[in-house]
Amino acid sequence: MSTAVRGTGAVYDRGYRPYDGPRGGRRAAVLALYKASLRRAIGLRRSWRQKFLPLALLAVVSIPAAVNVGIGYATRNSPLEGFSFFTYREYVGVSSALLLFVAVCAPDVVCPDRRQRVLPVIFSRPLTGTDYVLAKLGAIASLVFAFSILPQILLFVGQTLVSKDGSLQYVSDHADVLWKVPVAVAALAAYYAALALAVSSLTPRRVVAGASVFGLTIISSVVAAILHDANAVGGRGPLFNLLALPLLVRDLVFEGHIHDGSPLAGVPGAGALGLAAYTAVLALSVGVLLWRYRWAER
């Protein structure tokens, strides 16, 4: 008589049931996408290689401020007291080195979505193409703004502490810096973020997108220099320099006119032309983004 072998097993009652918790809706979805883009751009929860570039660039653009403050401290009570390598206006120009940051991070937050074909999944939620653009553009612009304003804060606080006239007097004498720097940096951040994302949206490959951002700005700089040297288009050649257009807006914010050292100095209506060119490039970049992701939404 054979004995049947009984197997052992377990039955689990998982108790699946519909989610009945709070629902965030469209606004929460946009905020979640914004936060995820921020984390990806600065390398949070990723390997150290993804964290290296943002931190290295922040250190690089902060070094001039630290050196300037250090020299100010070392030259107190000496004939060189009050010496400074650059002004706050000029330091906004130094921060344009963060173009390298957007050329690397902007493709990293949009190209994988297209290459891995996750856009249909994203747009299956209560998100539209406009929401997607708003989240991505806001994330990159926020990071560029933060990485540009932190060195300015370091410079201002440091100069306040080493000022020969005292901290309160320094703050009083430079009170206009407290609004001019954020406005100029915000103009720079919005422009670079929109331009880099617009170029990146045209390809699913990050390397191609990053190279295209660099190529576009470098080629435009070369063309602008050639036109300026040839005195073509009435001396308005520098308006074709995509890299320098935010710096024209910076001059308008700080001085109310184009700086005397600018290649456009002396050109009639240079300030208005510079602002118009900046606005046109920014609007075109945002338009390309909206077109690309409205198309993907359908």
Highest mean pLDDT among 9-13, 19-23, 75-79, 128-132: 128-132
Alpha helices, H only, the chain: 25-42, 48-74, 88-94, 99-115, 119-123, 129-162, 167-173, 177-200, 206-229, 245-255, 270-297
Tokens of 76: 């107190």
Domain ranges, ordered by start, for the chain: 25-297
What average pLDDT does the segment 223-248 reach? 87
pLDDT of 186 higher than 90: yes
Give the model's confidence band at 200: pLDDT under 50 very low, under 70 low, under 90 confident, else very high: very high
Give the model's confidence band at 274: pLDDT under 50 very low, under 70 low, under 90 confident, else very high: very high
Tell me what pLDDT residue 78 has: 65
Q: Which position has the higher pLDDT, 46 or 214?
A: 214
Contact assessment for residue 183 and residue 90, using Cβ atoms and an 8 Å cutoff: no
Q: Which of 182, 21, 189, 176 is nearest to 96 (CA)?
A: 189
Tokens of 65: 């401020």
Residues, the chain, total? 298
pLDDT tens-place string over residues 16-34: 677 677 777 788 888 989 9
Tell me what pLDDT residue 1 has: 46
Contact assessment for residue 96 and residue 70, using Cβ atoms and an 8 Å cutoff: no
Quick one: what percent of the chain has pLDDT higher than 90? 35
Tell me what pLDDT residue 115 has: 86
pLDDT of 198 higher than 90: yes
pLDDT of 240 higher than 80: yes
Tell me what pLDDT residue 81 has: 62
DSSP 129-162: HHHHHHHHHHHHHHHHHHHHHHHHHHHHHHHHHH
Q: Which position has the higher pLDDT, 104 or 274?
A: 274
Q: Give Cβ neighbours of residue 109 (< 8 Å, ≥ 6 apart).
A: 37, 40, 41, 136, 139, 140, 197
pLDDT tens-place string over residues 90-116: 888 776 677 788 888 889 899 988 888
Highest mean pLDDT among 7-16, 77-86, 207-216: 207-216
pTM recorded for the entire structure? 0.86
Contact assessment for residue 200 and residue 107, using Cβ atoms and an 8 Å cutoff: yes
